[in-house]
Structure 1
Amino acid sequence: MSSQKLKLNETQRALIGTVRDLARDKHWRTNSINYMDGTFPHENLRELAKLGVMGMSVPEEYGGLALPVFDTALVLEEIAKYCYATAMGVMSSVGVQTRVISKYAPESLKQKILPGVCTGEVNMAVGMTEPHAGTDVPNYKTNTVIKNDCAVVNGIKTLISKVDEAEWFVVFTRINGTPGRDGIGCVLVNRNTPGFEVTARYHTMGGEFLGEIQFNDVQVPLENVILREGAFKKLLTAFNTQRCLNPSVSLGLAEAAFEEAINYVRDRTIRGQRVADFQGIQWKLAEMYRDIEAGRALLYQAALSADPFPNPHQAAVAKMYNNEMAIRVSSEALQVHGGYGFTDDYPISRIYRAVRYGTLGGGTVETLKDLVGKKLVSDFEPVDGFLSMGNF
């Protein structure tokens, strides 16, 4: 990203504008209350599929738009401004699971799955977290044994998004019991396969459900073993994309919170004076705006580094900043609403709950701070007193 002002091209502006018009016409922000009980926004995703949004990560030969990570993040940011549940539904179709298949799966699987992702007819999810290990991927216990004519999966995955909607699951798994990170690969599992069982569902403060899955001698074709032993680095490289898409949702939610705060203080009066005219409120707004723009710069820089996947450390910095920034901004936006912000009648209460997802999913901020801190200690070299564009 150069020092010159970043300018979106006409294609980028047109897609973002079309998504914005759809969200406003359908009153997504107001209607987001309908998804707080765990109802999935199927209709919203069908409308987005018509615009090509569900195929943003899919190569053109399979019907997708083949958009760069930057463009995908822009669109996801815009969706999150209007509906968290819809943004999460889209991220599950443009995130790591689709990119792993697009990049590493055999041609037969690409043809079988990717066209349906574009139309919204095929839903996908990723199974990473285990009850005893979240970001500690090298210690996953789920194991896949490769036999002559099939592969057999056993284990448990938990806190999985779209557990009831997804047809296909990209599962991070140990291969043939190989220990440590060298043993990690991934397999593709269809939910209708014998031995696949959803054993728990957890309703979140953001509204959606997360689920737990058990794999009991689940047999899959050998072609469904997308990556075998020794693929840990490839998987994490693909997962770095998630560390740009996750903060794009945080950024969009922060923008939504800011918009709600601005609109409220402009309309609300106290003792005959607009709340917006009080200096204390204006300072709050100025700080919120500052934080949002700083987060935007970090995120866009990280997303623009993708070729085809983002720089891991820039993505980590962008994620941990935007995740925490969105919590601060939404908290302040709720505060300026006063008691009304605590009620479900105002969108800010839903935004405030939704932003808590960011620091937990896609690698906790603590894990990312550890990653960046270690890199700084080992490799930091000042360039004229500054880091050179975040490239440690």
Structure 2
Amino acid sequence: MEFRLTDAQRALIAPVREMAQASFRQRALRWMGGTFPWENIRDLAGLGVLGMTVPEEYGGLGLPVFETALILEELAKVCYPTAMAVLGEAGVQTRVIARYAPEGIRARILPQVVSGDCILSICMTEPHAGTDVANYRTNAVIRGDRVVVNGAKTLISRAEEAGMFVVFTRIDGRPGREGIGCVLVERGTPGLAVTGTFHTMGGENLHEVRFEDVELPLENLVIREDGFKRLLSAFNTQRCLNPAISLGLAEGAFDEALRYVRDRPVFGKPIADFQGVRWKLADMYKDIEAARGLLWRACMTADPFPDPFLAATAKVFCNEMAIRVTSEAVQLHGGFGFTDEYPVSRLYRGARYGSLGGGATETLRDLIGRKLVSEDPGPDGVMGLGYF
């Protein structure tokens, strides 16, 4: 087994790391009021990073899940809003268009994703249903060669900037999970409205999106059957990319804390000279490395989607690890850690999102537990051994 990045992987992330550390770190405070990080997005488009999950025939890089996670990790080390903005171009929504949209839509939209000219927004959560997909009320009715959509979505990222909305909806009122499908709605379509705004503790804005008799051509109905199953398959990828951001936030906070305790004097010597501080750092480092091992292992199972059991395990651990590590980083900064001017404050607030999005940790714990008690661990006696 090899636990080192290849030369090609290092070459891929090096310019992203350099740009993030040299530019994005200094700009990070700008985006905390909800302003979309367009300047960073334009810079990343110049590197080709926005097209990392777009197939090569549309101008993208077509990267595997692992390499995509590495890039998001680097961005999250310095700027949570930027990492989340890029996740919107690399996540489920891009994969839905690339795998299920007709050629005309793929050829028109995906090159704009690569160039940064089309921001994508995925619309899933509804005012009364988040994880409970089976109770979606948004509905798309097929009328000959047209589709008419009505309903509302809430807590939607990038809605004010999006050029295309990837909307999971009920089809023809069919009940339950089996009735879920997906439509593509372009900005400017009559009946589409971005209404409410929710400012998050992480710095980005979320929105309410309403569909009132939104009429679409039939080709925009990109998933008509087995939508829930396809959504879950795609979401296993999200359950590796979301924790990659958590990992990056924890690493960024750890780096900031390490610099601070080395330089900050108290009682005539650096804070780092106190055993209690060194033990905190040791625990933070241990947590980060354990999370990295789980996440990288889950990413490497992707073909094209990661193993759901390992992805869920990695997500739960990385999400909760990031909260612990960023919190300790704030503590090590003392009162300065509570101020916006120090990065650890922003990284801590960003870390709190991970366990809420992409599948709540409570839901994923239940998924993991059900699999453990219902399946035979095999002759090795260790359920995960066969995944190596």
TM over 0.5: yes
Asked whether 1:367 is paired with 2:363, we answer yes
Tell me how far 1:232 sits from its aligned partner.
1.6
Q: Secondary structure at 1:8's aligned position in 2? A: coil
C-alpha separation between the residues in 1 aligned to 2:247 and 2:386?
19
- The one-letter amino acid paired with 2:252 is A
Cα deviations across residues 332-381 of structure 1 (Å, max 9, x unaligned)?
11111111111112111111111011011111101111111111111141
- 1:156 touches 1:212 (CA, 8 Å); kept in 2? yes
- Between Structure 1 and Structure 2, how many residues are aligned? 388
TM-score by length of 1: 0.97
317, 320, 325: which one pairs with 1:321?
317
Asked whether 1:154 is paired with 2:140, we answer no
C-alpha separation between the residues in 1 aligned to 2:379 and 2:223?
39
- 1:125 touches 1:170 (CA, 8 Å); kept in 2? yes
More moved, 355-364 vs 103-112: 103-112
C-alpha separation between the residues in 1 aligned to 2:319 and 2:48?
27
C-alpha separation between the residues in 1 aligned to 2:352 and 2:384?
31
Q: Secondary structure at 1:367's aligned position in 2? A: helix
Cα deviations across residues 278-316 of structure 1 (Å, max 9, x unaligned)?
110000000000000000011001111100011111111
Aligned partner of 2:18 in structure 1 is 21
Aligned partner of 2:335 in structure 1 is 339
Aligned partner of 2:94 in structure 1 is 98
Q: Secondary structure at 1:206's aligned position in 2? A: coil
Aligned partner of 2:39 in structure 1 is 43
Q: Secondary structure at 1:67's aligned position in 2? A: coil
Cα deviations across residues 137-173 of structure 1 (Å, max 9, x unaligned)?
1111110001112100001100000010101000000
C-alpha separation between the residues in 1 aligned to 2:295 and 2:384?
16
Tell me how far 1:383 sits from its aligned partner.
4.7
C-alpha separation between the residues in 1 aligned to 2:219 and 2:187?
16
Aligned partner of 1:201 in structure 2 is 197
* Change over 3 Å in CA distance of 1:38–1:383 after alignment to 2: farther
Tell me how far 1:272 sits from its aligned partner.
1.1
5, 9, 12: which one pairs with 1:12?
9
Aligned partner of 1:129 in structure 2 is 125
C-alpha separation between the residues in 2 aligned to 1:29 and 1:291?
24
Spell out the pairing of 1:294-305 with structure 2 (5 A cutoff).
Answer: 294-305=290-301
Cα deviations across residues 35-75 of structure 1 (Å, max 9, x unaligned)?
11001110111111111110011110000000000000001
Asked whether 1:224 is paired with 2:220, we answer yes
Asked whether 1:72 is paired with 2:68, we answer yes
C-alpha separation between the residues in 2 aligned to 1:132 and 1:383?
44
C-alpha separation between the residues in 1 aligned to 2:379 and 2:243?
27
Cα deviations across residues 191-245 of structure 1 (Å, max 9, x unaligned)?
2111111120000001110000110010011100000033321121011111110
Tell me how far 1:8 sits from its aligned partner.
1.6
C-alpha separation between the residues in 2 aligned to 1:108 and 1:10?
37
Q: Secondary structure at 2:78's aligned position in 1? A: coil
135, 142, 148: which one pairs with 1:139?
135
- 1:382 touches 1:388 (CA, 8 Å); kept in 2? no
Q: Secondary structure at 1:240's aligned position in 2? A: helix
244, 253, 259: which one pairs with 1:263?
259
- The one-letter amino acid paired with 1:363 is G
- The one-letter amino acid paired with 1:22 is M
C-alpha separation between the residues in 1 aligned to 2:373 and 2:387?
14
Aligned partner of 1:84 in structure 2 is 80
C-alpha separation between the residues in 1 aligned to 2:124 and 2:147?
18
* Change over 3 Å in CA distance of 1:389–1:201 after alignment to 2: farther
- The one-letter amino acid paired with 2:108 is K
- 1:303 touches 1:310 (CA, 8 Å); kept in 2? yes
TM-score by length of 2: 0.98
Tell me how far 1:391 sits from its aligned partner.
4.8
Aligned identity (percent) is 62
Cα deviations across residues 253-272 of structure 1 (Å, max 9, x unaligned)?
00001001100000011111
Tell me how far 1:388 sits from its aligned partner.
2.7
Aligned partner of 1:163 in structure 2 is 159
- The one-letter amino acid paired with 1:256 is G
- 1:313 touches 1:391 (CA, 8 Å); kept in 2? no
C-alpha separation between the residues in 2 aligned to 1:231 and 1:40?
31
Q: Secondary structure at 2:10's aligned position in 1? A: helix
Cα deviations across residues 96-120 of structure 1 (Å, max 9, x unaligned)?
0001111111111111111111111
Aligned partner of 1:330 in structure 2 is 326
Aligned partner of 1:349 in structure 2 is 345
Q: Secondary structure at 2:183's aligned position in 1? A: strand
- The one-letter amino acid paired with 2:273 is D
C-alpha separation between the residues in 2 aligned to 1:43 and 1:255?
24
* Change over 3 Å in CA distance of 1:170–1:30 after alignment to 2: same
- 1:187 touches 1:224 (CA, 8 Å); kept in 2? yes
- The one-letter amino acid paired with 2:84 is M
207, 211, 216: which one pairs with 1:215?
211
- 1:178 touches 1:229 (CA, 8 Å); kept in 2? no
C-alpha separation between the residues in 2 aligned to 1:377 and 1:136?
23
Q: Secondary structure at 1:167's aligned position in 2? A: strand
Tell me how far 1:7 sits from its aligned partner.
2.3
